[in-house]
Structure 1
Amino acid sequence: MNSTKKVTNVALLTAMALAISLIEQMIPLPVPIPGAKLGFSNMIILICLYLYPLKYALLVGILKSFLLMLITGSVSSFFYSISGAIFSALAMGISLKLRGKTFSFVGISEIGAFFHNFGQILVASFVMGNIKMYLYFPILVIMGIFTSFFVGLSVNYITSHMDKINFGDIKNEKIDKRF
């Protein structure tokens, strides 16, 4: 895959994840839990993992977090967002290797949500200087179970249609490992 196509695809995936994150921030949650959100931008990260190696998904997650900070001006949210994105992408990337043998996209999404919340709580306990922040973790995990189930079902639907139209052939193109 040439570098122009690679940069374009990463930029498009980043733009989609950023747009979904911005829309997601406008959706009011029925439960007033600070820091909780629907996590729909993880669909793009999971699709990126389906198409490309882990480093591309990490890049999309990091760029999305950085651009979201620039657009919203929320520097403190950046640290929570980037830690969650890194933990989530790593966990989903590892579990995607086991897909078919052990995990479906729903399971991979559930694992990603768990580690996203874990990364955020890790940063929160460090920033607040209080280990009691981990008491908040089960609440985030329970909410994440429901939202990540929807994310996993959506990715399963999207990737099955990508395979039908041979969009998945992008996976079979030779990817330069130096990126």
Structure 2
Amino acid sequence: MKKTKRLVLLAMLTAVAMILSYVESLLPSVGIPGVKMGLANIAVIFALFRFGWKEAAALSLVRVVLVSLLFGSVGAMLYSLAGAVLSLAVMALLRRIDRFSTVGISVAGGVAHNAGQILMAMLILQTKQLLGYLPVLAVSGIAGGVLTGLAAALLIRRIPEF
């Protein structure tokens, strides 16, 4: 694939991820702090499978920074970055092993994202007590990971290779 076409497709995926992040922010809260579906992860997983981990990392990092600057705060960006980096590292490793389904990779990424956010909060607040919240967020990561993984798997199957 030509570099220009690749760049345009990644820019489009980044825009889709940003839109999904924004749409998710408009959805009503489930009442549990930190619990979200992670809709933008659909675009990240798609990029991971179609382009590779470097492109998925670029998409994820650009999305986190832009969404935080446009719709959030710099403080929230720290939590999002921690979650995105750990999530992508886990998903890229599992993708490389090549024994996990799209849904399995997404679930692992969802749980890792929440763990990354807890770790960042522990660093900022200087307390280990936040580890007690990890099981709640792990369940959320599993549920969101299944949903986003199914959506990403469907797109990977239905959208032809570029």
How does the TM-score come out when normalised to structure 2?
Answer: 0.94
> Do the aligned residues in 1 keep the contact of 2:24 with 2:39 (CA within 8 Å)?
yes
- 1:160 equivalent to 2:134? Answer no
Overall identity of the aligned pairs, in %: 32
> Do the aligned residues in 1 keep the contact of 2:122 with 2:128 (CA within 8 Å)?
yes
> Do the aligned residues in 1 keep the contact of 2:37 with 2:143 (CA within 8 Å)?
no
The 3-state SS of whatever aligns with 1:37 is: coil
What is the CA distance between 1:104 and its match in structure 2?
1.0
Find the counterpart in structure 2 of residue 93 from structure 1: 92
Find the counterpart in structure 1 of residue 27 from structure 2: 27
- Matched pairs, number: 162
The residue identity in structure 1 corresponding to 2:113 is: H
The residue identity in structure 1 corresponding to 2:96 is: K
What is the CA distance between 1:130 and its match in structure 2?
0.8
The 3-state SS of whatever aligns with 2:100 is: coil
The residue identity in structure 1 corresponding to 2:150 is: L
Superposed CA deviations along residues 8-29 of structure 1, whole A, max 9, x for unmatched, are: 1221111110100000011113
> Which is higher, the Rg of structure 1 or of structure 2?
1
The 3-state SS of whatever aligns with 2:10 is: helix
The residue identity in structure 2 corresponding to 1:25 is: S
The residue identity in structure 1 corresponding to 2:149 is: G
What is the CA distance between 1:4 and its match in structure 2?
2.0
Alpha-carbon distance in structure 1 between the residues aligned to 2:97 and 2:118: 26
Find the counterpart in structure 2 of residue 142 from structure 1: 139
Structure 2 unaligned blocks of 5 or more: none
The residue identity in structure 1 corresponding to 2:148 is: V
Alpha-carbon distance in structure 2 between the residues aligned to 1:128 and 1:135: 14
The 3-state SS of whatever aligns with 2:38 is: coil
> Do the aligned residues in 1 keep the contact of 2:37 with 2:148 (CA within 8 Å)?
no
Superposed CA deviations along residues 48-99 of structure 1, whole A, max 9, x for unmatched, are: 0011121110100100000011111411110111111111111111111233
Structure 1 unaligned blocks of 5 or more: 171-179
Find the counterpart in structure 2 of residue 18 from structure 1: 18
- 1:127 equivalent to 2:100? Answer no
Find the counterpart in structure 2 of residue 115 from structure 1: 112
The 3-state SS of whatever aligns with 2:37 is: coil
Alpha-carbon distance in structure 2 between the residues aligned to 1:15 and 1:113: 21
What is the CA distance between 1:47 and its match in structure 2?
0.2
- 1:74 equivalent to 2:73? Answer yes
RMSD in angstroms over aligned alpha carbons? 1.3
Alpha-carbon distance in structure 1 between the residues aligned to 2:32 and 2:125: 17
